[in-house]
């Protein structure tokens, strides 16, 4: 499956596990610092995985689309390795995170 990786608003020319790992590690606590990994076609209804850092915590989000409806989830962690693992599994294994541990924040949209 093909993916597009955006880092701090710039689309990178290629995606690999190494580039993805470096991109997660490069997120800093700045409004303009974020990454978005978007599959060419929805992955188990997920249209993207994104992350940003605020006050030492990573906010990881994904959105699942079902026709005209959607569900939006977020997960907070301070562990950069956990965030990297989530992104690598999404990219390499085409696997969305276990959303049972995530907060459904669809009502905020």
Name residue 39's beta-bridge partners: 3
Cα gap 98→109, rounded to integer Å? 21
**pLDDT, tens digit, 9 for 90 and up, residues 20-58:** 999 999 999 888 899 999 999 999 999 999 999 999 999
Residue spans of the domains in the chain: they are: 3-108
Return the structure tokens found at 26.
Answer: 């490069």
Q: 3: Cβ–Cβ under 8 A, 6 or more apart, which residues?
A: 15, 37, 38, 39, 40, 91
- Full-model pTM: 0.94
> pLDDT confidence of 60, banded at 50, 70, 90?
very high
> pLDDT confidence of 92, banded at 50, 70, 90?
very high
């Amino acid at each position: 499956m093909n993916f597009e990786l955006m880092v701090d608003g710039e689309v990178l020319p290629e995606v690999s596990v190494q580039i993805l790992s470096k991109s997660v590690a490069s997120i800093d606590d700045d409004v303009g610092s974020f990454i978005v990994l978007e599959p060419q076609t929805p992955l188990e209804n997920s249209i993207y995985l994104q992350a940003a850092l605020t006050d030492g915590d990573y906010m990881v989000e994904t959105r699942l689309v079902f026709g005209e409806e959607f569900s939006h989830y977020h997960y907070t962690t301070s562990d950069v390795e956990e965030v990297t693992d989530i992104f690598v599994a999404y990219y390499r294994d085409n696997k969305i995170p276990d959303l049972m541990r995530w907060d459904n924040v669809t009502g905020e949209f």
